[in-house]
Copies of this chain bind each other. A is one copy, B any other.
């Protein structure tokens, strides 16, 4: 059981209403890899520049994460991402101090990784996401994430990619934008009608909704008293979700629902620290404990 994680390994500047960190380890693939590694073996496929600090690479160099796919582009700079969060932490302004190597260099799948059983493909060029999926000989579960930029600039390519993946994750505003409707349920249905097979709409602190042609599932957010930094929560969700699914015997609707709760649980830990910092210390028993709490917090009995 192995999960291919692709996306950005980046250096982030993050400012919340309460604190600020500069030049810290970040990126979609970083968070997704650390989350998936709680459940399965991870193969990380990403690029960094020559400036990528050895100390940051060392933090990713841990049992369960294969870093042979983390390539250094000679003469290149590591991508950088900046975010400033508003008071309620649900909205943010983002910018790119350095677009870096992650945009121009899309590393191909190493041939020896064709036997990878699962894929968690961070937001990126939808055509590239498709190439990676095609490179896998018999994947059991595949997930693609996307962002506004690709919805706007490559809608047809994105639709084609969604048809090839088992799951696509979008946040609420992206779902509304993709489907041109304010209703989350209708947006999910529109994405299914467009050929997506499993749609996860991430609702931030409000949880997540999932739709496939056979199932609809809604989960509230895990209630947190303190959110330090929402960065990476969506990526940790995707990593936890696919990491868990990679370990199940058969991917049933019930397992997908569990995977959503595992993803939400992993994400809930992520926001307790800046960037991926909490994920670096998180353990599977902690995840299981919170999963049980999640269940207790949401249980209600049958009606009349």
Q: Tell whether A257 pairs with B205 under 8 Å between CB atoms, given A186-B226, A223-B185.
A: no
Bound complex: CA of A236 vs CA of B232, how far in Å?
A: 37
| Contact A223/B209 with A262-B303, A297-B217, A303-B261 known, Cβ cut-off 8 Å | yes
Which residues of A, 276-304, contact B by the 8 Å Cβ criterion?
288, 291-292, 295, 297-304
Q: Which residues of B contact A217 (CB under 8 A)?
A: 297-298, 300
Q: Which residue of B lies closest to A208 (CB)?
A: B220
Cβ distance A208 to chain B, nearest Cβ, rounded Å: 9
| Cβ–Cβ contact A254 & B303, under 8 A | no
Number of copies: 2
Partner of A261, one of B185, B225, B262, B300: B300
| Residues of chain B with a CB closer than 8 A to A184's CB | 205, 223
Q: Please report A residues at the B interface, Cβ cutoff 8 Å.
A: 87-89, 176, 182-186, 189, 203, 205-207, 209, 216-227, 254, 257-258, 260-262, 288, 291-292, 295, 297-304
Measured CA separation A6–B89 after assembly (Å): 36
Complex Cα gap A220–B88 (Å): 19
Chain B's closest residue to A184 (CB) is B223
Q: How far is the CA of A254 from the CA of B296 in the complex (A)?
A: 11
Q: A268 vs B297: C-alpha distance in the bound complex, in angstroms? A: 21
Residues of B within 8 A of A254 (CB): 300-301
A64 and B99 alpha carbons, distance in the complex (Å): 66
Chain B, Cβ-Cβ closest to A261: B300
Q: Within the complex, what minimum Cβ distance (angstroms) separates A32 from chain B?
A: 20
Docked CA distance A221–B185 (Å): 11
Q: CA A158 – CA B260 in complex, angstroms?
A: 39
